[in-house]
Structure 1
Protein backbone atom coordinates (compact mmCIF):
# COMPACT_ATOMS: atom_id res chain seq x y z
CA UNK A 1 0.00 0.00 0.00
CA UNK A 2 2.84 2.38 0.82
CA UNK A 3 4.45 1.79 -2.57
CA UNK A 4 1.14 2.40 -4.34
CA UNK A 5 0.79 5.70 -2.50
CA UNK A 6 4.28 6.72 -3.61
CA UNK A 7 3.41 6.05 -7.26
CA UNK A 8 0.20 8.09 -6.99
CA UNK A 9 2.09 10.94 -5.36
CA UNK A 10 4.75 10.89 -8.08
CA UNK A 11 2.02 10.89 -10.74
CA UNK A 12 0.22 13.81 -9.11
CA UNK A 13 3.46 15.70 -8.61
CA UNK A 14 4.44 15.11 -12.24
CA UNK A 15 1.14 16.52 -13.48
CA UNK A 16 1.34 19.58 -11.21
CA UNK A 17 4.96 20.24 -12.14
CA UNK A 18 4.36 19.81 -15.88
CA UNK A 19 1.41 22.20 -16.02
CA UNK A 20 2.26 24.69 -13.27
CA UNK A 21 6.01 24.91 -12.71
CA UNK A 22 7.58 23.81 -16.01
CA UNK A 23 8.50 26.53 -18.55
CA UNK A 24 5.63 27.73 -20.75
CA UNK A 25 4.79 26.27 -24.13
CA UNK A 26 6.46 27.97 -27.05
CA UNK A 27 4.45 29.16 -30.08
CA UNK A 28 6.21 26.67 -32.37
CA UNK A 29 5.70 23.61 -30.12
CA UNK A 30 3.01 22.01 -32.27
CA UNK A 31 5.07 22.57 -35.41
CA UNK A 32 8.13 21.06 -33.71
CA UNK A 33 6.20 17.95 -32.65
CA UNK A 34 4.76 17.58 -36.14
CA UNK A 35 8.17 17.84 -37.77
CA UNK A 36 9.74 15.41 -35.32
CA UNK A 37 6.92 12.92 -35.91
CA UNK A 38 7.10 13.14 -39.71
CA UNK A 39 10.89 13.08 -40.05
CA UNK A 40 11.24 16.69 -41.17
CA UNK A 41 14.30 17.23 -39.03
CA UNK A 42 16.07 20.05 -40.86
CA UNK A 43 17.12 22.74 -38.41
CA UNK A 44 16.23 20.71 -35.31
CA UNK A 45 18.93 20.04 -32.72
CA UNK A 46 20.02 16.36 -33.06
CA UNK A 47 19.80 16.04 -29.27
CA UNK A 48 16.08 16.83 -29.46
CA UNK A 49 15.64 14.42 -32.37
CA UNK A 50 17.46 11.69 -30.45
CA UNK A 51 15.51 12.23 -27.24
CA UNK A 52 12.17 12.34 -29.05
CA UNK A 53 12.84 9.03 -30.80
CA UNK A 54 14.20 7.38 -27.66
CA UNK A 55 10.89 8.27 -26.04
CA UNK A 56 9.43 5.90 -28.62
CA UNK A 57 11.87 3.15 -27.61
CA UNK A 58 10.97 3.32 -23.93
CA UNK A 59 7.30 2.28 -24.37
CA UNK A 60 8.48 -0.78 -26.31
CA UNK A 61 10.87 -1.65 -23.47
CA UNK A 62 8.03 -1.38 -20.97
CA UNK A 63 5.67 -3.30 -23.26
CA UNK A 64 8.13 -6.22 -23.24
CA UNK A 65 7.48 -6.50 -19.49
CA UNK A 66 4.10 -4.94 -18.81
CA UNK A 67 2.00 -7.13 -21.12
CA UNK A 68 3.44 -10.25 -19.48
CA UNK A 69 2.93 -8.75 -16.02
CA UNK A 70 -0.62 -7.82 -16.97
CA UNK A 71 -1.54 -11.48 -17.55
CA UNK A 72 -1.90 -11.86 -13.77
CA UNK A 73 -3.48 -8.49 -12.97
CA UNK A 74 -7.09 -7.50 -12.40
CA UNK A 75 -6.55 -4.48 -14.64
CA UNK A 76 -5.66 -4.79 -18.35
CA UNK A 77 -2.17 -3.63 -19.24
CA UNK A 78 -2.82 -2.60 -22.83
CA UNK A 79 -4.49 0.82 -22.23
CA UNK A 80 -1.56 2.00 -20.11
CA UNK A 81 1.02 0.59 -22.54
CA UNK A 82 -0.73 2.15 -25.53
CA UNK A 83 -1.03 5.57 -23.89
CA UNK A 84 2.64 5.46 -22.88
CA UNK A 85 3.60 5.92 -26.55
CA UNK A 86 2.02 9.36 -26.34
CA UNK A 87 2.55 10.45 -22.74
CA UNK A 88 5.21 8.12 -21.30
CA UNK A 89 5.36 7.96 -17.51
CA UNK A 90 2.07 9.89 -17.24
CA UNK A 91 0.35 6.67 -18.43
CA UNK A 92 2.62 4.09 -16.77
CA UNK A 93 2.53 5.50 -13.24
CA UNK A 94 -1.19 4.70 -12.75
CA UNK A 95 -0.52 1.11 -13.85
CA UNK A 96 2.32 0.80 -11.34
CA UNK A 97 0.02 2.20 -8.65
CA UNK A 98 -2.87 -0.14 -9.50
CA UNK A 99 -1.01 -3.40 -10.16
CA UNK A 100 -0.38 -6.11 -7.59
CA UNK A 101 2.89 -8.02 -7.14
CA UNK A 102 2.95 -10.77 -9.75
CA UNK A 103 5.74 -13.33 -9.92
CA UNK A 104 3.83 -16.01 -11.83
CA UNK A 105 2.92 -16.56 -15.46
CA UNK A 106 0.11 -18.97 -16.27
CA UNK A 107 -0.93 -20.48 -19.55
CA UNK A 108 0.82 -20.12 -22.88
CA UNK A 109 2.27 -17.18 -24.76
CA UNK A 110 0.35 -16.04 -27.81
CA UNK A 111 2.16 -14.71 -30.87
CA UNK A 112 2.20 -11.17 -29.50
CA UNK A 113 3.70 -12.22 -26.17
CA UNK A 114 6.26 -14.40 -27.93
CA UNK A 115 7.38 -11.35 -29.89
CA UNK A 116 7.65 -9.23 -26.74
CA UNK A 117 9.47 -12.06 -24.97
CA UNK A 118 11.99 -12.51 -27.78
CA UNK A 119 15.60 -11.56 -27.18
CA UNK A 120 15.68 -10.33 -30.78
CA UNK A 121 13.34 -7.52 -29.80
CA UNK A 122 15.88 -6.47 -27.17
CA UNK A 123 18.68 -6.61 -29.73
CA UNK A 124 16.77 -4.48 -32.26
CA UNK A 125 15.84 -1.92 -29.61
CA UNK A 126 19.42 -1.81 -28.30
CA UNK A 127 20.88 -1.18 -31.74
CA UNK A 128 18.25 1.48 -32.45
CA UNK A 129 18.88 3.22 -29.13
CA UNK A 130 22.66 3.10 -29.60
CA UNK A 131 22.34 4.74 -33.03
CA UNK A 132 20.05 7.44 -31.63
CA UNK A 133 22.27 8.16 -28.63
CA UNK A 134 25.38 8.22 -30.80
CA UNK A 135 23.72 10.60 -33.24
CA UNK A 136 22.51 12.92 -30.50
CA UNK A 137 25.79 13.01 -28.59
CA UNK A 138 27.93 13.25 -31.70
CA UNK A 139 25.98 15.87 -33.61
CA UNK A 140 23.97 17.69 -30.94
CA UNK A 141 24.37 21.22 -29.64
CA UNK A 142 24.33 21.05 -25.83
CA UNK A 143 24.16 24.82 -25.30
CA UNK A 144 21.10 25.02 -27.51
CA UNK A 145 19.51 22.02 -25.79
CA UNK A 146 19.99 23.56 -22.34
CA UNK A 147 18.48 26.81 -23.59
CA UNK A 148 15.45 24.92 -24.96
CA UNK A 149 15.18 22.91 -21.74
CA UNK A 150 14.97 26.14 -19.78
CA UNK A 151 12.39 27.79 -22.01
CA UNK A 152 10.27 25.07 -23.65
CA UNK A 153 7.70 23.03 -21.71
CA UNK A 154 7.78 20.28 -24.35
CA UNK A 155 11.56 19.78 -24.15
CA UNK A 156 11.60 20.22 -20.38
CA UNK A 157 8.82 17.71 -19.63
CA UNK A 158 10.09 15.23 -22.23
CA UNK A 159 13.49 15.25 -20.50
CA UNK A 160 11.82 14.72 -17.12
CA UNK A 161 9.73 11.92 -18.60
CA UNK A 162 12.88 10.18 -19.85
CA UNK A 163 14.44 10.34 -16.38
CA UNK A 164 11.29 8.95 -14.77
CA UNK A 165 11.09 6.06 -17.23
CA UNK A 166 14.68 5.18 -16.34
CA UNK A 167 13.92 5.33 -12.62
CA UNK A 168 10.62 3.42 -12.70
CA UNK A 169 11.70 0.34 -14.67
CA UNK A 170 13.00 -1.50 -11.55
CA UNK A 171 9.42 -1.45 -10.19
CA UNK A 172 8.58 -4.11 -12.80
CA UNK A 173 12.01 -5.68 -13.10
CA UNK A 174 12.01 -7.67 -9.86
CA UNK A 175 8.81 -9.59 -10.60
CA UNK A 176 9.88 -10.24 -14.19
CA UNK A 177 13.16 -11.74 -12.99
CA UNK A 178 11.34 -14.03 -10.54
CA UNK A 179 8.96 -15.19 -13.27
CA UNK A 180 12.02 -16.32 -15.23
CA UNK A 181 13.78 -17.97 -12.30
CA UNK A 182 16.50 -15.30 -12.15
CA UNK A 183 17.86 -14.94 -8.62
CA UNK A 184 20.66 -12.50 -9.28
CA UNK A 185 20.74 -9.30 -7.19
CA UNK A 186 23.84 -8.13 -9.07
CA UNK A 187 21.92 -8.26 -12.35
CA UNK A 188 19.00 -6.38 -10.81
CA UNK A 189 21.19 -3.51 -9.65
CA UNK A 190 23.18 -3.45 -12.89
CA UNK A 191 19.96 -3.07 -14.88
CA UNK A 192 18.45 -0.61 -12.39
CA UNK A 193 21.44 1.71 -12.17
CA UNK A 194 22.34 2.00 -15.87
CA UNK A 195 19.90 4.41 -17.55
CA UNK A 196 18.19 3.05 -20.68
CA UNK A 197 20.88 0.56 -21.67
CA UNK A 198 20.50 -1.39 -18.43
CA UNK A 199 16.90 -2.19 -19.34
CA UNK A 200 17.89 -2.93 -22.94
CA UNK A 201 20.66 -5.27 -21.80
CA UNK A 202 18.13 -7.10 -19.66
CA UNK A 203 15.80 -7.65 -22.62
CA UNK A 204 18.75 -9.05 -24.59
CA UNK A 205 19.92 -11.57 -21.99
CA UNK A 206 16.84 -12.59 -19.98
CA UNK A 207 15.85 -16.25 -20.45
CA UNK A 208 12.56 -17.00 -22.21
CA UNK A 209 9.49 -16.98 -20.02
CA UNK A 210 8.46 -20.55 -19.07
CA UNK A 211 4.92 -21.47 -20.00
CA UNK A 212 2.57 -24.30 -19.17
CA UNK A 213 2.80 -27.31 -21.45
CA UNK A 214 -0.08 -27.57 -23.92
CA UNK A 215 -0.54 -31.16 -22.77
CA UNK A 216 -1.49 -29.89 -19.31
CA UNK A 217 -4.06 -27.42 -20.61
CA UNK A 218 -7.52 -28.97 -21.10
CA UNK A 219 -8.97 -28.60 -24.55
Structure 2
Protein backbone atom coordinates (compact mmCIF):
# COMPACT_ATOMS: atom_id res chain seq x y z
CA UNK A 1 0.00 0.00 0.00
CA UNK A 2 1.22 3.50 -0.80
CA UNK A 3 0.88 6.66 1.21
CA UNK A 4 -2.30 7.21 3.19
CA UNK A 5 -4.63 9.89 1.86
CA UNK A 6 -4.87 11.83 5.11
CA UNK A 7 -4.10 11.57 8.79
CA UNK A 8 -6.86 10.89 11.27
CA UNK A 9 -7.39 13.07 14.31
CA UNK A 10 -5.61 11.60 17.30
CA UNK A 11 -7.25 10.90 20.63
CA UNK A 12 -5.87 12.78 23.64
CA UNK A 13 -3.15 11.49 25.94
CA UNK A 14 -4.12 11.97 29.59
CA UNK A 15 -1.34 13.23 31.88
CA UNK A 16 -0.52 11.09 34.89
CA UNK A 17 -0.21 13.08 38.12
CA UNK A 18 3.40 13.52 39.24
CA UNK A 19 4.85 11.74 36.21
CA UNK A 20 6.20 12.72 32.78
CA UNK A 21 4.31 9.84 31.16
CA UNK A 22 0.85 9.97 29.61
CA UNK A 23 -2.05 7.56 29.16
CA UNK A 24 -3.32 7.32 25.54
CA UNK A 25 -7.09 6.99 25.25
CA UNK A 26 -8.37 4.16 23.06
CA UNK A 27 -12.03 3.61 23.93
CA UNK A 28 -14.49 5.35 26.24
CA UNK A 29 -17.28 3.39 27.92
CA UNK A 30 -19.92 5.19 30.00
CA UNK A 31 -22.22 3.71 32.63
CA UNK A 32 -25.80 4.97 32.51
CA UNK A 33 -27.98 5.71 35.56
CA UNK A 34 -25.48 4.59 38.16
CA UNK A 35 -26.80 6.92 40.87
CA UNK A 36 -30.42 6.39 41.92
CA UNK A 37 -31.05 10.09 42.61
CA UNK A 38 -29.88 11.09 39.14
CA UNK A 39 -32.05 8.42 37.51
CA UNK A 40 -35.02 9.77 39.45
CA UNK A 41 -34.40 13.38 38.43
CA UNK A 42 -34.37 12.22 34.79
CA UNK A 43 -37.69 10.42 35.31
CA UNK A 44 -36.21 6.93 35.09
CA UNK A 45 -36.06 3.89 37.28
CA UNK A 46 -32.74 2.17 37.99
CA UNK A 47 -32.17 -1.22 36.40
CA UNK A 48 -30.64 -3.13 39.30
CA UNK A 49 -30.24 -6.37 37.35
CA UNK A 50 -27.13 -5.19 35.52
CA UNK A 51 -25.37 -1.96 34.52
CA UNK A 52 -25.84 -0.63 30.99
CA UNK A 53 -23.49 1.38 28.81
CA UNK A 54 -23.05 3.78 25.94
CA UNK A 55 -19.80 4.69 24.23
CA UNK A 56 -18.14 7.96 23.27
CA UNK A 57 -15.56 8.42 20.53
CA UNK A 58 -12.07 8.93 21.95
CA UNK A 59 -11.06 11.56 19.38
CA UNK A 60 -13.98 13.71 20.54
CA UNK A 61 -12.47 13.98 24.04
CA UNK A 62 -10.50 16.98 25.29
CA UNK A 63 -8.30 17.55 28.30
CA UNK A 64 -9.16 19.66 31.31
CA UNK A 65 -8.65 23.40 30.94
CA UNK A 66 -10.16 23.50 27.46
CA UNK A 67 -12.42 26.27 26.21
CA UNK A 68 -14.87 24.75 23.75
CA UNK A 69 -17.74 26.24 21.71
CA UNK A 70 -21.37 25.71 22.61
CA UNK A 71 -22.29 22.73 20.42
CA UNK A 72 -24.65 22.88 17.45
CA UNK A 73 -28.11 21.37 17.36
CA UNK A 74 -29.06 21.81 21.01
CA UNK A 75 -30.75 24.28 23.31
CA UNK A 76 -30.26 22.23 26.48
CA UNK A 77 -26.57 21.42 26.99
CA UNK A 78 -25.87 19.62 30.29
CA UNK A 79 -22.85 18.85 32.45
CA UNK A 80 -22.40 15.46 34.14
CA UNK A 81 -19.56 15.07 36.64
CA UNK A 82 -18.07 11.56 36.79
CA UNK A 83 -15.27 9.42 38.19
CA UNK A 84 -13.17 7.94 35.37
CA UNK A 85 -11.39 4.60 35.61
CA UNK A 86 -8.42 3.85 33.34
CA UNK A 87 -7.65 0.22 32.53
CA UNK A 88 -3.99 -0.75 32.80
CA UNK A 89 -3.93 -4.47 31.94
CA UNK A 90 -5.85 -6.78 29.62
CA UNK A 91 -8.84 -8.37 31.32
CA UNK A 92 -11.66 -10.59 30.09
CA UNK A 93 -14.44 -12.11 32.19
CA UNK A 94 -12.77 -10.69 35.25
CA UNK A 95 -13.15 -11.83 38.83
CA UNK A 96 -13.35 -9.12 41.50
CA UNK A 97 -9.64 -9.57 42.24
CA UNK A 98 -8.74 -9.36 38.56
CA UNK A 99 -10.92 -6.27 38.17
CA UNK A 100 -9.08 -4.48 40.99
CA UNK A 101 -5.71 -5.45 39.53
CA UNK A 102 -6.69 -4.20 36.06
CA UNK A 103 -7.19 -0.58 37.18
CA UNK A 104 -4.31 1.69 36.20
CA UNK A 105 -5.70 4.82 37.76
CA UNK A 106 -8.60 7.15 38.48
CA UNK A 107 -9.51 10.63 37.31
CA UNK A 108 -12.19 13.27 37.11
CA UNK A 109 -14.25 13.63 33.95
CA UNK A 110 -17.18 15.50 32.44
CA UNK A 111 -19.74 13.75 30.24
CA UNK A 112 -21.26 16.70 28.38
CA UNK A 113 -24.69 15.96 26.95
CA UNK A 114 -27.10 17.47 24.45
CA UNK A 115 -29.98 16.61 26.77
CA UNK A 116 -32.81 17.61 24.44
CA UNK A 117 -31.43 15.33 21.72
CA UNK A 118 -30.81 12.47 24.14
CA UNK A 119 -34.39 12.64 25.45
CA UNK A 120 -35.85 12.98 21.96
CA UNK A 121 -34.02 9.91 20.68
CA UNK A 122 -34.76 7.92 23.83
CA UNK A 123 -38.47 8.59 23.48
CA UNK A 124 -38.30 7.18 19.96
CA UNK A 125 -36.31 4.17 21.23
CA UNK A 126 -33.31 5.23 19.18
CA UNK A 127 -29.62 5.27 20.15
CA UNK A 128 -28.34 8.23 22.18
CA UNK A 129 -25.41 9.07 19.90
CA UNK A 130 -26.58 12.56 18.91
CA UNK A 131 -27.04 13.49 22.53
CA UNK A 132 -23.91 11.88 23.94
CA UNK A 133 -21.15 11.36 21.37
CA UNK A 134 -20.41 14.93 20.39
CA UNK A 135 -17.22 16.83 19.65
CA UNK A 136 -15.55 18.05 22.87
CA UNK A 137 -18.18 16.06 24.75
CA UNK A 138 -15.80 14.24 27.11
CA UNK A 139 -13.42 16.22 29.30
CA UNK A 140 -10.62 14.34 31.07
CA UNK A 141 -8.45 15.44 34.00
CA UNK A 142 -5.04 13.94 34.89
CA UNK A 143 -5.03 10.39 36.21
CA UNK A 144 -3.78 9.30 39.60
CA UNK A 145 -2.40 5.77 39.85
CA UNK A 146 -4.69 3.42 41.73
CA UNK A 147 -2.01 2.57 44.29
CA UNK A 148 -1.56 6.28 45.07
CA UNK A 149 -5.26 6.98 45.55
CA UNK A 150 -6.67 3.91 47.25
CA UNK A 151 -10.30 2.88 47.59
CA UNK A 152 -13.02 5.03 45.96
CA UNK A 153 -15.44 4.48 48.85
CA UNK A 154 -16.04 7.43 51.13
CA UNK A 155 -14.88 9.98 48.57
CA UNK A 156 -16.89 13.07 47.72
CA UNK A 157 -17.76 13.93 44.10
CA UNK A 158 -18.87 17.45 43.26
CA UNK A 159 -19.26 20.02 40.50
CA UNK A 160 -19.68 23.77 40.48
CA UNK A 161 -20.78 26.16 37.73
CA UNK A 162 -19.39 29.69 37.98
CA UNK A 163 -18.43 28.96 41.58
CA UNK A 164 -21.85 27.63 42.63
CA UNK A 165 -22.13 24.00 43.72
CA UNK A 166 -24.55 22.04 41.52
CA UNK A 167 -23.62 18.41 42.20
CA UNK A 168 -22.51 17.06 45.57
CA UNK A 169 -22.55 13.37 46.47
CA UNK A 170 -20.43 10.43 47.63
CA UNK A 171 -18.97 7.78 45.37
CA UNK A 172 -20.45 5.08 47.60
CA UNK A 173 -23.85 6.16 46.26
CA UNK A 174 -22.97 4.42 42.99
CA UNK A 175 -25.29 1.50 42.38
CA UNK A 176 -22.56 -0.51 40.67
CA UNK A 177 -19.05 -0.28 42.13
CA UNK A 178 -15.91 0.02 40.02
CA UNK A 179 -15.16 -3.66 40.51
CA UNK A 180 -18.68 -4.70 39.57
CA UNK A 181 -18.61 -2.55 36.45
CA UNK A 182 -15.31 -4.03 35.26
CA UNK A 183 -16.45 -7.58 36.00
CA UNK A 184 -19.66 -7.05 34.04
CA UNK A 185 -18.23 -5.06 31.12
CA UNK A 186 -15.35 -7.49 30.68
CA UNK A 187 -17.90 -10.20 30.03
CA UNK A 188 -18.71 -8.46 26.74
CA UNK A 189 -15.39 -6.84 25.76
CA UNK A 190 -11.73 -7.74 26.02
CA UNK A 191 -10.80 -4.70 28.09
CA UNK A 192 -7.28 -3.42 27.51
CA UNK A 193 -4.94 -0.53 28.33
CA UNK A 194 -6.34 2.64 26.80
CA UNK A 195 -9.92 1.85 27.83
CA UNK A 196 -11.49 4.53 30.01
CA UNK A 197 -14.73 3.95 31.89
CA UNK A 198 -16.91 6.83 33.08
CA UNK A 199 -18.86 5.52 36.06
CA UNK A 200 -21.99 7.67 36.00
CA UNK A 201 -23.11 11.00 37.44
CA UNK A 202 -24.91 11.93 40.67
CA UNK A 203 -28.02 14.10 40.90
CA UNK A 204 -27.88 17.81 40.16
CA UNK A 205 -27.23 17.86 36.41
CA UNK A 206 -28.31 20.95 34.57
CA UNK A 207 -27.92 23.23 31.60
CA UNK A 208 -25.01 25.57 30.91
CA UNK A 209 -24.64 28.50 28.53
CA UNK A 210 -21.85 30.19 26.65
CA UNK A 211 -19.55 31.91 29.12
CA UNK A 212 -20.09 29.39 31.92
CA UNK A 213 -17.17 27.69 33.63
CA UNK A 214 -17.51 24.22 35.13
CA UNK A 215 -15.13 22.84 37.72
CA UNK A 216 -15.54 19.44 39.30
CA UNK A 217 -13.63 17.13 41.57
CA UNK A 218 -13.36 13.91 43.50
CA UNK A 219 -11.53 13.83 46.83
CA UNK A 220 -7.82 13.19 46.29
CA UNK A 221 -7.83 13.61 42.48
CA UNK A 222 -6.87 16.57 40.26
CA UNK A 223 -10.03 18.51 39.32
CA UNK A 224 -11.56 18.84 35.86
CA UNK A 225 -12.22 22.27 34.37
CA UNK A 226 -14.12 23.38 31.26
CA UNK A 227 -15.10 26.80 29.88
CA UNK A 228 -17.96 27.07 27.43
CA UNK A 229 -17.39 29.63 24.68
CA UNK A 230 -19.87 31.07 22.19
CA UNK A 231 -21.26 28.86 19.44
CA UNK A 232 -19.26 28.73 16.23
Tell me the TM-score normalised to structure 1 length.
0.27
The structure whose residues are more often helix, as a share, is: 1
The answer to which structure has the higher strand fraction is 2
Given the two structures, how large is their TM-score scaled by the length of structure 2? 0.26
